[in-house]
Amino acid sequence: MSETGRTGQIYNEIQTPCYIIYREELDRGIEELKQALAQYWPRAIVGYSFKTNALPWAMIQMKQAGFYAEVVSEDEYDLAMKLGFEHVIYNGPVKGKRSFDDALKRGYIINLDAKRELDWLEAYAGTDIAVGLRVNFDVESECPGETSGGQEGSRFGFSYETGEFAEALERLKRMNIRLAGLHMHCGSKTRSINIYRALARKACELKKEFDLNPDYIDLGGGYFGGMPNKPHFADYVKAIREELLPAYSPEDTTLIMEPGTSIITPPIEYVVSVVDVKKTYAGQFAVTDGSRIDVDPLHRKSSYFYEVQSERTSSPGQSPAAFSEQEQTAPQERKTIAKQTVCGFTCMEDDRIFEMKDQPELRVGDRIAFKKSGGYTMCLTPLFIRYFPRVYVEEAGTYRIVRDAWGPDEYMSGSHLV
C-alpha cells in the first residue's frame, strides 16, 4: 500500500478509534477480480457478500462496480432495495417469505437452502420462474481438514448423500419449476484452490448424474485477497475453468462468484491510540482506545498485520512515524521491552489484542494501525461500553468521514420510552 495516504496534518487529525478505507486499494481488488474473470470465464456475475461488511458507503461502491447484492436475510434484502440495487442474489436458510416473493416477482437469483422454500414455491407451480439449489455434499472427504464444518459436516443446502438433493429436484419437476443453477458454496478454513476444484468437479458430476442443464454455477465466496504468497483471483478462476470445462461452456454457462472478505478486508485498517501504559508485577500493558472486539470480534486471531506509528515531538502537523524514524534522534530513544501486551478499553480481562516482544516501548499517543481489517469486523462489532467507531475513506491523501461515531442519540434512535 502506498504510504502517501498517511502523511500530512489531515492524518494526524483523524480521531481514533476508527476504521480507514483506502479507496485506491479497494478499486485495485475489484479490478483484479474483473480481469481474472475476463481472462478465464467472461460470462460471469459477481455478487458482493453483504454479511461480510454492509457499510452503506461500501455497498454503493460495489453497486457502481456492477456487482450484485448477495444477501442472506430479509433485513439484508431490504437494505439492498433501499440502496437501489437492481440485481440481487438471495441465499441462506432464513429468507423471509415477503422478500422471497418479491425476489421471485423481480426475477432475482434465488438459491433455495431450506425445505420451507420449496413449500413456498407450491403457489408458483407451473409459472415461468426458475430457482437454484444449494448443494450439500461431503467436501471434507475430498479436502481433509479444509472445510469449516470438518467431520461434522455442513448444515446448509440439500444433501446429495442422503438423497435430499434428488428429492428437491423431483419436487421442482413436479411443480414444473425450472432449475436455474447449482449453488456449490462451502465454508473453508484454508481458502485453498483445492476447495474450488472439488466444488467445480461436483457440479460436473451432478450435471451428468441428473441430466441437468443449469444456467449458472455459483461457487460462493471464501477467497484470499490482497495477501502475499497466497492465491490471487486469477489462480482461482483458472482452476475453476479447468474443472468446469468437461461439462460446461464459458459461452453458455454463467459463473457466479460471491466474494466478501477478499474484496473488503485488504483496503481497511483499524486504527487505535495508546491512552495509558501500566507496569505491573505481571508485565507491561499498553491500553488503547480501541478493542479486540472491533478487530477480532470472534477472538480467533493469533497474529495481525499491524504498524506502530509513534508520536513525533518536533514540529506540529507532522505525521506519525515508524519506530525506526522515531529513534533517529537521541531525545526520542526508547528502551526495548521484552514483552508488552496491547489491550483494549473494555473492562474484560480478555480484551488483550496481541503481545509485542523485544520491541521499543509504546508510549501514550502512539497509534497502532491494524491492516486488512475490513472483513467481519464492522458487522460484528457489538454495542458494548462504547458504540460504533468512525469510518474514514482515504482518497488522494484526503480523509473524509463516511460513518460518524455513534453516540447516545444514534443508540436510542427508534427507541420507544415509557
Q: In this predicted model, what pLDDT tens digit does every residue of 206-253 receive, in sequence order?
A: 999 999 999 999 999 999 998 989 999 999 999 999 999 999 999 999
Q: In degrees rounded to 5, what are phi and psi of residue 401?
A: -80, 130
- All three cell numbers of 406, joined, read 455513534
Instruction: For domain 23-264, give the CATH number.
Output: 3.20.20.10
Instruction: Give 311's pLDDT tier (boundaries 50, 70, 90).
Output: low
pLDDT at 332: 63
Q: What is the mean pLDDT of residues 133-157?
A: 96
Distance set, CA 251 to CA 41, 159, 189, 243, 375 (Å): 8, 29, 32, 15, 33
| CATH 3.20.20.10 domain range(s) in the chain | 23-264
Cα gap 11→301, rounded to integer Å: 27
pLDDT value at 352 more than 70: yes
Express as a percent the part of the chain with pLDDT over 90: 88
Which single residue is written with the C-alpha cell 477478499? 262
Of 4-8, 45-49, 334-338, which range is least confident? 4-8
Instruction: Give 302's pLDDT tier (boundaries 50, 70, 90).
Output: confident
pLDDT at 168: 98
The predicted-structure confidence for 166-214, as pLDDT tens digits, reads as follows 999 999 999 999 999 999 999 999 999 999 999 999 999 999 999 999 9
pLDDT at 313: 34
Instruction: Collapse the DSSP code of 49 into the 3-class scheme (helix H, G, I; strand E, B; otherwise coil) and give the result.
Output: strand
- All three cell numbers of 391, joined, read 469510518
pLDDT value at 341 more than 90: yes
Please give the angle made by the CA atoms of 53, 59 and 60, to the nearest 5 degrees. 160
Cα gap 1→234, rounded to integer Å: 20
Average pLDDT of the chain?
92
pLDDT value at 266 more than 60: yes
pLDDT at 189: 94
Q: What is the mean pLDDT of residues 74-102?
A: 98
CB 105 within 8 A of CB 126: no
Cα gap 132→301, rounded to integer Å: 35
CATH of 3-17+268-373+386-409, one of 3.40.30.10, 2.40.37.10, 3.30.1360.200, 1.10.1370.30: 2.40.37.10
Cis, bond preceding 17 (omega within 30 deg of 0): yes
pLDDT at 6: 53
pTM attached to this predicted model: 0.92
pLDDT at 320: 40
pLDDT at 211: 98
- All three cell numbers of 242, joined, read 479447468
Q: In degrees rounded to 5, what are phi and psi of residue 188?
A: -130, 140
pLDDT value at 288 more than 50: yes
| CATH 2.40.37.10 domain range(s) in the chain | 3-17+268-373+386-409
